[in-house]
Amino acid sequence: MKILQLCKKFPYPLNDGESIAVSYLSKGLSELGHTVDLLSMNTTKHYTDTSSLNGEVSYFNSIETVDVDNRVTVMGAAKNLFTSKAYHISRFESKEYRLKLEKKLQTNTYDIIQLETPVLSLYLDTIKKYSNAKVVLRAHNIEHEIWDRVASNESSYFKKQYLQICSKRLRAFEYKHLADFDALAAITSRDLESFKRMGFNKDGFVLPVGLDTKKYQKMKPIKESLTMSFIGSLDWMPNIHGLMWFLDNVWPIIHEQNPKIVFHIAGKNPSDRIKNIKLKNVVIHGEVDDAISFINQHDVMIVPLFSGSGMRVKILEGMALGKVVITTTIGAEGIEAESGEEILLANDKHQFTECVGKYLSDNNEIKRISKKARTLVENRYDYLFNAKTLANQYKSLISIRKLATKNEANINHVR
């Protein structure tokens, strides 16, 4: 099969969930013998110097990028209020990207065009005009649901009102374009059911994130005292809200009970508020070169998420490295892990402190959780298994199209 993959950010380096989800799936499809071309935006917010890549993304048959300025500005957000578009969507409108896509479709014939995230529905009209390929949405999350949850957790009245407007417009955008896709690959079964309730009635299936677990080898932390870690994009509002809640409400209790524990925080684009955190035994690293190495250096991974959608890839990475992950029910959504078995769930400050206490008091129990976490990722979230699942779905889609074309030709011949 020949597949064109459209992305709103360049999927490398592998330091965030979206890049990992995109890249490992493309790698798997390539290893199965399918051709994958990439047309990606290279955004201001997540810019990658593609000239410095030396074979790291060789699983793509061809790579083309378009620079897109998608910076979030106060002026841009204010002006957007006087339009009917969602600011989260309009920042990805690009005439240059549309022209590059048009040229790509005029010079190539594809079996499948795969859109990574609903934002790229902006370009469905161009796809339909210049290609007969089956068009598939790979939905990493439900965009409007993220901002519904963020708005509900926002304490500022004006920010809450603005976020609610954004969420409403995002919802309208997602509803509008669902019928335009031939198939939908949801990242979790929960998301798939939500899309069905939104009106999607075509071929839908679940395709979780897959990892190459050979790249995730557990190493014992060198430090003698217990350390905890948080890693995630520090310019993403759900991460910021969750981290600040944890530092304000949970960390003081943990530190008082266990004065030797050190909490390490890593993530790109930290705000001045996060950079200037001055709490004893809290270390702010900013962006790290190697996320796997950072996770490996610490005993426990903390993921205090109270908003978001889809699947948290950093949790899968922590589990693949045999780390004990303590997260919320929302954080664990989409991951087939049971609390107390492969993961620890906590939804308030008391539950978080209890989970940390459990880790300190029962080393054998934690070793059991660590081993089961690794086994679950190996058995359920393998990138090549996912690629085979997707390839089979695509073959069925293409077969249906060929059969329909043949029947139409026979009818015309009879006429």
pLDDT single digits (tens) 93-138: 999 999 999 999 999 999 999 999 999 999 999 999 999 999 999 9
The per-residue pLDDT for range 31-46, each reduced to its tens digit, is 999 999 999 999 998 8
pLDDT of residue 223: 61
Are residue 50 and residue 63 in the same domain, yes or no? yes
Q: What are phi and psi of 196, to 5 degrees?
A: -65, -40
Q: What are phi and psi of 354, to 5 degrees?
A: -65, -40
Structure tokens of 82?
A: 């006087």
Are residue 198 and residue 318 in the same domain, yes or no? no
The one-letter code for the residue type at 56 is E
Could you tell me where the DSSP H helices lie in 237-381? 237-249, 251-257, 272-275, 291-296, 313-320, 349-361, 363-380
Are residue 27 and residue 172 in the same domain, yes or no? yes
Confidence of residue 224 (pLDDT cuts 50, 70, 90): low
Are residue 162 and residue 239 in the same domain, yes or no? no
Are residue 14 and residue 147 in the same domain, yes or no? yes
Are residue 200 and residue 64 in the same domain, yes or no? yes
SS3 for 146?
A: helix
Contacts for 93-99: CB closer than 8 Å, 24+ residues apart? 93/122, 94/41, 94/66, 94/68, 96/66, 96/67, 96/68, 97/39, 97/41, 97/66, 97/68, 97/123, 98/123, 98/126
The one-letter code for the residue type at 72 is V
Q: Which domain holds residue 179?
A: 2-210+382-414
Are residue 145 and residue 263 in the same domain, yes or no? no
Q: How far is residue 86's CA from residue 80's CA, in Å, rounded to a whole number?
A: 8
The per-residue pLDDT for range 299-316, each reduced to its tens digit, is 899 999 998 678 999 999
For residue 333, what is the domain's CATH number? 3.40.50.2000
Q: How far is residue 275's CA from residue 40's CA, in Å, rounded to a whole number?
A: 31
- Please, how many CA atoms are within 13 Å of residue 197, restricted to the half-sphere of its CB? 8
Are residue 185 and residue 253 in the same domain, yes or no? no
Nearest Cα neighbor of 146 from 128, 132, 165, 167 is 167
Q: Which residues of 171-182 are buried (b: 16+ CB within 10 A; e: fewer)?
A: bebbeebbeebb
- pLDDT over 90 (residue 317): yes
Percent of all residues in the chain with a pLDDT value above 90, rounded to a whole number: 67
The gap from C-alpha 257 to its chain's centroid, in whole angstroms, comes to 35
The per-residue pLDDT for range 160-198, each reduced to its tens digit, is 888 888 889 888 898 999 999 999 999 999 899 989 999
Structure tokens of 46?
A: 């997540």
| Count of the separate structural domains present in the chain | 2
Percent of all residues in the chain with a pLDDT value above 70, rounded to a whole number: 95
Are residue 291 and residue 242 in the same domain, yes or no? yes
- pLDDT over 70 (residue 407): no
The pLDDT mean for the chain works out to 90
pLDDT of residue 88: 83
Q: How far is residue 357's CA from residue 29's CA, in Å, rounded to a whole number?
A: 43
Q: Are 6 and 123 in contact (CB under 8 A)?
A: yes
Residue with tokens 């990722």: 377
The gap from C-alpha 151 to its chain's centroid, in whole angstroms, comes to 20
Are residue 185 and residue 242 in the same domain, yes or no? no
Confidence of residue 413 (pLDDT cuts 50, 70, 90): very low
pTM above threshold 0.75: yes
* Residues in CB range of 83: below 8 A, 6 or more apart: 90
- DSSP character string of 339-372: BTTTBEE--SHHHHHHHHHHHHH-HHHHHHHHHH
Note the maximum CA span of the chain.
84
Q: How far is residue 219's CA from residue 309's CA, in Å, rounded to a whole number?
A: 30
Are residue 263 and residue 190 in the same domain, yes or no? no
Residue with tokens 């509002």: 237
- pLDDT over 80 (residue 63): yes
Are residue 199 and residue 304 in the same domain, yes or no? no
Q: Are 322 and 299 in contact (CB under 8 A)?
A: no
Q: Are 274 and 243 in contact (CB under 8 A)?
A: yes
